[in-house]
Amino acid sequence: METQSIKHNIGDKRRGLLELNGFDHELIQQTLGVNLKEYNENIILSLIKPFLGLYSSWEHWFHDELHWCRECIKRGYHSWFHQFKLLDECVFHGGELINSCPDCRGKIPFLLTNKQLDQAFMCKCGHLLANLHSSSWKEWRGEDRIV
């Protein structure tokens, strides 16, 4: 089974989104002007702080597959709250969190990979969870501000 997994992932450039492994952190900091790894860790630690004595592993608290809110994803937004295992509803909209493709019912891994996604918020079957165009970003003025 492990050999099959290794064969399947040969040539797959994976970027884990929980610990941001596989990313060039120096390049990100130079480009964006922010230490994304530190920022990410602070967000995660703020979510699990009340539970730190129970489990030390971050993986215990967050889903491996993408979980999302229909309303948030329409706006191109995804939150750590959506990945947090203790929540099954969106903290912003109260809607159920979705964890499988509406078309093929497949799970979408919570990572970036050159084999899985052709573009953001797309299932490997080709279904778009959100139809985002560059014009969408220009039109968005933040009226439905999501914190």
Task: Examine residue 147 and state whether it is found in any structural domain, yes or no.
Answer: no
For the CA atoms of the chain, what is the radius of gyration?
Answer: 16
pLDDT of res. 7: 41
91 found inside a domain: yes
What is the residue range of 6's domain?
A: 2-18+62-139
The packing angle between helices 36-48 and 25-32, to 10°, is 100
In a domain, 52, yes or no: no
pLDDT at residue 90, rounded to an integer: 97
- Residue 53 domain flag: no
Within a domain: residue 44? no
Residue 45 lies in a domain: no
Query: Which of 61, 51, 19, 49 is CA-nearest to residue 37?
Result: 19
Distance CA 102, CA 13 (A): 26
Taking CA 11 as the corner, what is the angle to CA 7 and CA 17, rounded to the nearest 5 degrees? 100
Inside any domain, residue 23: no
Q: pLDDT digits over 10-61, tens only?
A: 444 556 787 787 788 899 999 999 999 999 899 888 888 888 788 777 778 9
Overall domain count for the chain: 1
